[in-house]
Structure 1
Amino acid sequence: MAVDVAEELKNLKATMSSIEAVVDLDALRGEIKRLNEEAAAPDLWDDQAKAQKVTSRLSYVQGELNRVESLRRRLDDMEVLAELAEAEDDAETRAEVEAELPRVAQAISELEVRTLLSGEYDAREALITIRAEAGGVDAADFAEMLMRMYLRYAERHGYPTEVYDTSYAEEAGIKSATFAVKVPYAYGTLSVEQGTHRLVRISPFDNQGRRQTSFAGVEVVPVVEQTDHIEIPDDELRVDVYRSSGPGGQGVNTTDSAVRLTHLPTGIVVSCQNERSQLQNKASAMAVLQAKLLDRKRQEEQAKIDALKGDTTGSWGNQMRSYVLHPYQMVKDLRTDFETGNTSAVLDGEIDGFVEAAIRWRRKR
């Protein structure tokens, strides 16, 4: 076992070194120094948007550096302990190292996945839209289950989220919902969740207790930044205001604060009704619309590249995961073959294994 531990430590050290090279620790330290200087400026908060961007980026970069450095220390400490256990033939210390090894290996694996996110928009925050598809009331209920799954995933990781719009179905569940995951690399991480999700279960809405298959679609787009220059002329936009509503048509407030934007050339419709002022809802809806138009532009550019390459693989996003609750319990990703029988944990937000496997799969492609 001691030889296996030594070999495993050697492999982990090699992986850690490659991660450190990709992350570029000196560059991170340089950025932290520059951001600290900006954050110390007396006039920083004269521009609140810029101040929040600086402080948010500083917090994120410091966290990234600490994550890599602390993991390196854990690995070095384990190597010292392993050598000590071997030299003194200490069974207790050897057992301690063997118990810690898989935990460190998992942490390094997660960090390695982050280094695979090098796409143009991967570092952005994410906007996620979930829609009920085929399957009637079961599909609407499934769409709401998926929304909860992603919000719980974000909560588990400490990622801030903001729900912009929820369109409730009449009997149960939701027709659609749009929310933001406000952390760097949210887009790169969660973009692999895009596609059609399928649920198989005994329908709680069928009085004959029959098995039903239903579908929900997940769309993930990167949040637009000021440098993206997505111009939307006024004559291409229709703005409707209406009263916000909750489940079953229940009124959330008594003013016409909800906003619906329709982009006439593409037919893209975006709504925002998160109980704020009409002006704020319009600004949020515009940000969502710009993100969707940016993603549309990105997809068109990718389609041209694929056409030049003769890419005939088709969209990897469609029908990407099955959630089977009857006659057996299993969630399986159809692209990576990653699966688990713990369906309740997955629907409670434990999807890290699926996300990591899909990021590695996408990188290989």
Structure 2
Amino acid sequence: MATTDFASELKDLRTTMESVRQVTDLDRLKSQIADLSEKSAAPDLWDDPEKAQEVTSSLSRLNSELERITGMDQRIDDLEVLVEMATEDGGDAETLAEAEKELVSLRKAVGELEVRTLLAGEYDQREAVVTIRAGAGGVDAADFAEMLMRMYLRWAERHGYPTSVLDTSYAEEAGLKSATFEVKVPYAFGHLSVEAGTHRLVRISPFDNQGRRQTSFAAVEVIPLIESTDHIEIPENEIKVDVFRSSGPGGQSVNTTDSAVRMTHIPTGIVVSMQNEKSQIQNRAAALRVLQSRLLLQRQAEEQAAKKALAGDVKASWGDQMRSYVLHPYQMVKDLRTEYEVGNTSGVFDGDIDGFIEAGIRWKRAAERDEA
């Protein structure tokens, strides 16, 4: 068994952390914290509850970010002390094993921090709205859409990220026609934006009585959650609103009144449906928020397309099939853009997708650098 070169490993960790500190700009971060701390101490802060919530939430997030970085530096220092204790006086196998375990944990944690520094896009810091739609493949596609929804909700649960399901449209036999949910944590959009695209599932269909292999598809859309500062104004005469009765499982008051809302943006044809809240007013507010978010992302995409056209960029965008989930005749999940793959398909469907997300972020940023 090869001996770990702790000196080299510690040096690499410190080099990476130096890059993280440079990108993060700790002086600017501390200045922002000081400014928000002053605002949070103002006696009239809660005269405007919405503004107060924004200040306190931002302060908490920035403090957590600072503590995460400074805490990582301390962990590296502590590991160095542990290694010294393990190697003095001929070596201590138990302490050395503890150092090895901490090194593995630190590599993962520092790698996650490094990936965070790559999230520098205009909307990467935003919360995310994720929509999953069943594609080709009939009932298998609807079942696959439900599997993907559970996968992302389990991923969020693993990290302690709050989520809120906004809309679910159930298929007739099994699964989902579509579903929309929010991931309410900063940088959710930056992380999940690399999940957007067409996902493919290959398996023996549990809905085919002849046991044949079936290929099915589902589309994942990820948009940044709108903020009050974005100024996406939509004239009322550009919106058509229909109300209808919610369908599928739900509380008694959910599916016995015309509380569901379908909102259509007439100029673009974008349609948003919301039915998971109990009141029509709540569903209308949620639908408007998601519609504004989609228009915001569309505006950004149009601006980027214009820039590429001016630059004469003829490179293709991400392919339709960005990831394959194969359950038969072998077990493997593979991202077709990054080549990242794992054999533990059950783990992936249970939310273990950090490796895919991190590989996707690194791939996306590398592609952007090549285009620059």
Verify same fold: TM over 0.5: yes
Q: CA deviation at 1:5?
A: 1.4
- Match for residue 52 of structure 2? 51
Q: Which of these residues, 146, 154, 157, is aligned with residue 155 of structure 1?
A: 157
Using the TM superposition, name which of 91-100 and 233-242 deviates more: 91-100
Deviates more, 1:61-70 or 1:84-93: 84-93
Q: Which residue of 1 aligns with 2:307?
A: 305
- How far is the alpha carbon of 1:251 from its aligned partner? 7.9
The equivalent of 1:26 in structure 2 is 27
Separation in 1, partners of 2:145, 2:86: 52
Partner residue, 2:78: 77
Equivalent of residue 172 in structure 1, options 171, 174, 178: 174
* Residue matched to 1:322: 324
- Whichever residue aligns with residue 138 of structure 2, its letter is G
Distance in 2 of aligned mates of 1:350 and 1:320: 17
1:24 Cα deviation from its structure 2 partner? 2.0
- Where does 1:245-256 land on structure 2 (aligned, <5 Å)? 245-247=247-249, 252-256=254-258
Q: What runs of 5+ residues in structure 1 fail to find an aligned partner?
A: none
Q: Which secondary structure state, in structure 2, belongs to the residue aligned with residue 364 of structure 1?
A: helix
- Tell me how far apart the structure 2 counterparts of residues 219 and 3 of structure 1 sit (CA, whole Å): 43
Shift of 1:126: 0.8
The answer to whether the Cα contact below 8 Å between 1:194 and 1:317 also exists between their aligned partners in 2 is: no
Map 1:245-324; keep pairs closer than 5 Å.
Answer: 245-247=247-249, 252-316=254-318, 318-324=320-326
Task: Give the counterpart letter for 1:164 in structure 2.
Answer: L
State the secondary structure of the residue aligned to 2:321. Answer: coil
TM-score normalised by length of structure 1: 0.95
Deviation at 1:223, TM superposition (A): 1.1
1:4 match? 5
Write the distance in 2 (CA, Å) between the matches of 1:141 and 1:252.
23
Matches within 5 A, 1:339-350: 339-350=341-352
Letter aligned with residue 151 of structure 2: M
Query: RMSD over aligned Cα, in angstroms?
Result: 1.7
Do the aligned partners of residues 151 and 351 (structure 1) sit closer, same or farther apart at CA in structure 2, a change above 3 Å counting? same
1:107 partnered with 2:119: no
- Residue among 352, 355, 364 paired with 2:354: 352
Tell me what 2:216 maps to.
Answer: 214
Deviation at 1:3, TM superposition (A): 7.1
**Number of positions where the alignment pairs a residue of Structure 1 with one of Structure 2:** 364
Amino acid at match of 2:146: E
Amino acid at match of 1:18: S
Instruction: Say if 1:244 and 1:257, in contact at 8 Å, map to a contact too.
Output: yes
Q: 2:166 touches 2:277 (CA, 8 Å); kept in 1?
A: no
* Percent identity of equivalent pairs: 68
- 1 CA distance for matches of 2:301 and 2:159? 29
Q: Is the 8 A contact 1:169 1:247 kept in 2?
A: no
Instruction: Measure how far apart 1:134 and its partner are.
Output: 0.4
Q: CA deviation at 1:177?
A: 0.9
1:222-261 alignment, distance < 5 Å = 222-247=224-249, 252-261=254-263
CA distance in 1, matches of 2:152, 2:133: 14
- One-letter amino acid of the structure 2 residue matched with residue 291 of structure 1: S
For residue 323 of structure 1, give the secondary structure of its aligned residue in structure 2. strand
Matching residue's letter, 1:295 = L
Q: Please give the alpha-carbon distance, in whole angstroms, between the structure 2 residues aligned to 1:37 and 1:362.
A: 38
